[in-house]
Each structure stands twice: as C-alpha cells, then as structure tokens.
C-alpha cells in the first residue's frame, strides 16, 4: 500500500531528523490521512521517550493511536459504543505493532508490551534512562537515533496505523 509506505518513510525521517517519536508518527499520519490539527500535533510534544522520557508507553505507539482516535474516535462522551469500537481498533493496532516489530527487527521471542523501555531492551539488549545524560548518550551511541533504532520504530507504528485506519474508511 503506497500510503502506508509514504507514512512509514515520513515518520522514520522525521524521527531521525528532528526527534520526538510521538509527533514524528502523528505528523506523518496527519499529512498522509489529512486528519488532526496543529493543536493535536502540539499536544504530543511531551510524549516522546515513553511519556516525557520516562520509558513508559512508546511514543511511536502514542502517535499511532492518536491518529486512530482522530480518524475514528468518539466525538461525544456519551457515545459509549463509538468508544468501545475505537478501543477494539486500538487493540488491533497495538497487537499488529508488536507483531510487525518482531518481524521487521527479527526479535527472538515476542515483544510483550509497548513500553519504551521494553522496546529498547528488545532492540539494544538493554533499556536506557533517557533522563540521565550519560545514559541518554549511551542510547544514542547504541543507535537509538540511527536508522535501525527509534526512526525504524516510528516507521513501523505509522505503517501499521495507516493500514488499519484505511480499513475503516
């Protein structure tokens, strides 16, 4: 699918060139799917590195799920069916993300979570404290900002998200 390829390449490039995994993915998806706004993009400013560099949920996944919500989330709080439907789709996106990560990175064993620190451990053999300057430098030295690191993760998240969102339209 050409749209998924474009989104994957853009997200990869944005993360490599500018950083900010959540915004890299959402920005690419906003461009390819024509969804969201400057405000939705700005809202993800602080969600990189596993939510404010805490190692929690992978920012690339946050960007992908944010795009899913923009494309197909509920518009009114009382629309509980739309919320259930969106949550079901989010499970599909996160499951596909983990499976696609295993495939594209050729992990041994499964990627059992979408925590940034778990993704790091699968890719680099260890996780890094991105708030610690020395550990952040070690992350970069290990390839965190390289084409085989977080930019590739962002590409996977964007690809999976576009593929799933396109099924809804």
- The radius of gyration computed from the CA coordinates of the chain, to the nearest angstrom, equals 15
**Helix locations, 19-149, DSSP H:** 21-33, 38-43, 59-72, 80-105, 116-124, 133-142
Print pLDDT tens along the chain (169 aa). 699 999 999 999 999 999 999 999 999 999 999 999 999 999 999 999 999 999 999 999 999 999 999 999 999 999 999 999 999 999 999 999 999 999 999 988 899 999 999 999 999 999 999 999 999 999 999 999 999 999 999 999 999 999 999 998 7
Which domain does 147 fall in, by range?
2-168
Say how many domains are in the chain.
1
């Amino acid at each position: 699918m050409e749209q998924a390829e474009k989104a994957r390449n853009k997200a990869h490039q944005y993360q490599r060139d500018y950083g900010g995994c959540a915004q890299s993915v959402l920005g690419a998806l906003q461009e390819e799917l024509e969804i969201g706004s400057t405000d939705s993009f700005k809202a993800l400013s602080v969600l990189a590195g596993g939510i404010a560099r805490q190692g929690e949920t992978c920012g690339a996944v946050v960007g992908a799920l944010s795009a899913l919500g923009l494309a197909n989330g509920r518009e009114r709080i009382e629309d509980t069916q739309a919320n259930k439907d969106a949550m079901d789709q989010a499970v599909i996106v996160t499951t596909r993300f983990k499976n696609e990560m295993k495939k594209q990175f050729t992990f041994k064993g499964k990627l059992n979570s979408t925590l940034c620190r778990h993704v790091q451990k699968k890719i680099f053999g260890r996780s890094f404290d991105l708030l610690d300057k020395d550990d952040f430098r070690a992350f970069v030295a290990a390839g965190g900002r390289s084409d085989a690191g977080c930019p590739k993760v962002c590409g996977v998240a964007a690809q999976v998200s576009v593929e799933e969102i396109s099924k809804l339209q």
